[in-house]
């Protein structure tokens, strides 16, 4: 630290603009901050009933939603072990770091993963899904597993189009979808899009701390668990669904996070999901306007696939995103998302999801614009102005 920096002090809230965990609203924090109650008592049973109904509305499903006291990775594993058997073939797509990590989970569980390579800058190609499934005449592929919003790249895959591709191929594979960074941020319809298992987590669009994750099921997924023989115990839907019918859990739930979940669901419902999605779209468009005005590139190469939750920005060759983010954290108390996996030290990510508003976005962009100058990254000024103009324009 230089002597001029060491005399500079910071007050006010930290800016947590990584693409999740997202900022936890005070209302949710206050809901969590209560004495823990008996998870086998009547008050908790009533809460369980309200939560399961509220979650179904957010996933847009009439089928059950399972809640785990776990991070998103647990819900990835749950989706696989409840529906598949050792050696089963799964079709996955290399859209980024999280698709790659989910592939690793599937491999570790003894599944035979067909991993379609990708350059991380585009979403899943539905035509590729259709072609691969048509080639699979014996229907050996049991599931297609995709990430809706790639948090490492800010690239979205079209879930409805992938379902249509599976149907066009006349293939019975289950469709498993990761919505860890899209649920509560972007339009998502579990039933209408014919998804069999939706995987989600608490710490992004649901505005909670990390620690809860979810599987939304379909009737076909529930039937698949009868045949699936991968070993499972903690993740088993059977025990969970049977306990949930009695408004209980098979083991101790994360009681206080569930208090927070109720507050978060109420906030989403009061705002209205469509307005929540429109808010995210608007902030994402303004963030992209800033990036373009800086003369920097957008990592996502498909204009139809830009994420509403985050924007990923590659730096010009020879410039380190790690150093940029370190400078911005030190000087402005603003945390941005790092480059993950293959794009480590190349791409930084701006999270604009969850409990977020116009001035938080402008503050974030101002921090980045000043950071670009401090880090000596070639750019033009005016990103914040461009974002303001975008925010003032009718959608
Ligand atoms: C799209 C996506 N899937 C899965 C995960 C893994 O979730 P967790 O880190 O909560 O285990 C993440 C985490 O950021 C993610 O963004």
What is the residue-wise DSSP string for 266-289? HHHHHH-HHHHHHHHHHHHHHHHH
Rounded (10°) CA dihedral 346, 343, 313, 282 = -160
* Distance in angstroms (rounded) separating the CA atoms of residues 393 and 120: 31
pLDDT at 5 (0 to 100): 52
What is the residue-wise DSSP string for 23-63? PPPHHHHHHHSS----TTSHHHHHHHHHHHHHHHHHHT-SS
pLDDT at 10 (0 to 100): 82
What is the residue-wise DSSP string for 128-177? HHHHHHHH-TT--EEEEEEESEETTTTEE--HHHHHHHHHHTT---EEEE
Tell me: the pLDDT tens digits for 34-78? 999 999 999 999 999 999 999 999 999 999 999 999 999 999 999
Rounded (10°) CA dihedral 245, 249, 254, 258 = 10
3-state SS class at 114: strand
* Distance in angstroms (rounded) separating the CA atoms of residues 57 and 176: 19
CB atoms within 10 A of CB 39: 18
How large is the angle between the packed helices 321-332 and 358-374, nearest 10 degrees? 120
Q: Which two tokens stand for residue 85?
A: 């058997």
Query: How are beta strands 197-201 and 174-178 bridged, if at all?
Result: parallel
Tell me: the pLDDT tens digits for 197-245? 999 999 999 999 999 999 999 999 999 999 999 999 999 999 999 999 9
* Positions in the chain short of pLDDT 70: 1-7, 395
Mutate to test the pocket of ligand 1, among 96, 99, 180, 202 (most ligand atoms within 8 A of CB): 180
Contacts of 97 (CB under 8 A, 6+ apart): 120, 150, 151, 152, 153, 340, 341, 342, 343
Mutate to test the pocket of ligand 1, among 73, 96, 145, 341 (most ligand atoms within 8 A of CB): 73
How large is the angle between the packed helices 255-271 and 42-59, nearest 10 degrees? 40
Relative to the CA of 150, which ligand 1 atom is closest?
Answer: 1
CB atoms within 10 A of CB 16: 18
CB 308 within 8 A of CB 186: yes
* Nearest alpha carbon, ligand 1 atom 7: 72
**Helix H or strand E segment including 329:** helix 321-332
CB atoms within 10 A of CB 292: 16
Q: DSSP secondary-structure letter at 315?
A: P
Relative to the CA of 179, which ligand 1 atom is closest?
Answer: 1
* Distance in angstroms (rounded) separating the CA atoms of residues 184 and 265: 9
Give the Å distance between the CA of 378 and the centre of ligand 1: 32
* Distance in angstroms (rounded) separating the CA atoms of residues 124 and 109: 23
Could you tell me the CA-to-CA distances from 116 to 43, 103, 198, 344 in Å, in that order?
A: 48, 11, 21, 21
pTM of the predicted model, to two decimals?
0.97
């Amino acid at each position: 630290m230089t002597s001029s920096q060491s005399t500079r002090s910071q007050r006010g809230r930290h800016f947590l603009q990584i693409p999740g965990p997202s900022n936890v609203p005070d209302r949710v924090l206050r809901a969590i901050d209560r004495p823990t109650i008996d998870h086998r008592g009547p008050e908790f049973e009533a809460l369980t009933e309200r939560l399961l109904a509220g979650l179904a509305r957010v996933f847009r499903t009439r089928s059950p939603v399972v809640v785990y006291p776990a991070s998103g990775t647990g819900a990835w594993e749950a989706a696989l072990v409840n529906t598949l058997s050792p050696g089963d073939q799964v079709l996955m797509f290399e859209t980024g770091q999280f698709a790659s990590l989910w592939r690793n989970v599937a491999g570790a569980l003894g599944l035979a993963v067909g991993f379609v390579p990708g350059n991380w800058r585009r979403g899943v190609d539905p035509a590729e899904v259709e072609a691969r499934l048509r080639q699979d005449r014996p229907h050996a592929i049991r599931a297609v597993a995709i990430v809706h919003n790639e948090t490492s790249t800010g690239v979205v895959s079209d879930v409805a189009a992938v379902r249509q591709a599976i149907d066009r191929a006349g293939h019975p594979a289950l469709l498993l979808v990761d919505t860890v960074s899209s649920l509560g941020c972007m339009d998502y319809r579990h039933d209408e899009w014919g998804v069999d298992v939706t995987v989600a987590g608490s710490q992004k669009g649901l505005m909670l701390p990390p620690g809860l994750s979810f599987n939304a099921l379909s009737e076909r997924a529930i039937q698949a668990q009868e045949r699936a023989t991968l070993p499972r115990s903690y993740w088993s839907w059977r025990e969970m669904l049977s306990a949930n019918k009695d408004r209980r859990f098979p083991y101790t739930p994360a009681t206080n996070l569930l208090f927070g979940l109720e507050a978060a669901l109420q906030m989403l419902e009061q705002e209205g999901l469509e307005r929540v999605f429109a808010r995210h779209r608007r902030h994402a468009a303004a963030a992209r306007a800033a990036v373009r005005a800086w003369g920097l590139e957008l990592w996502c190469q498909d204009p139809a696939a830009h994420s509403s939750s985050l924007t990923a920005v590659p730096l010009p060759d020879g410039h380190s995103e790690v150093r940029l983010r370190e400078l911005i954290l030190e000087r402005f108390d603003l945390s941005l998302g790092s480059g993950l996996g293959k794009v480590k030290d190349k791409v930084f990510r701006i999270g604009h999801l969850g409990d977020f508003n116009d001035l938080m976005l402008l503050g974030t962009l101002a921090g980045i614009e000043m950071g670009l100058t401090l880090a000596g990254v070639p750019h033009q000024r005016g990103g914040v102005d461009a974002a303001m103009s975008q925010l003032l324009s009718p959608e």
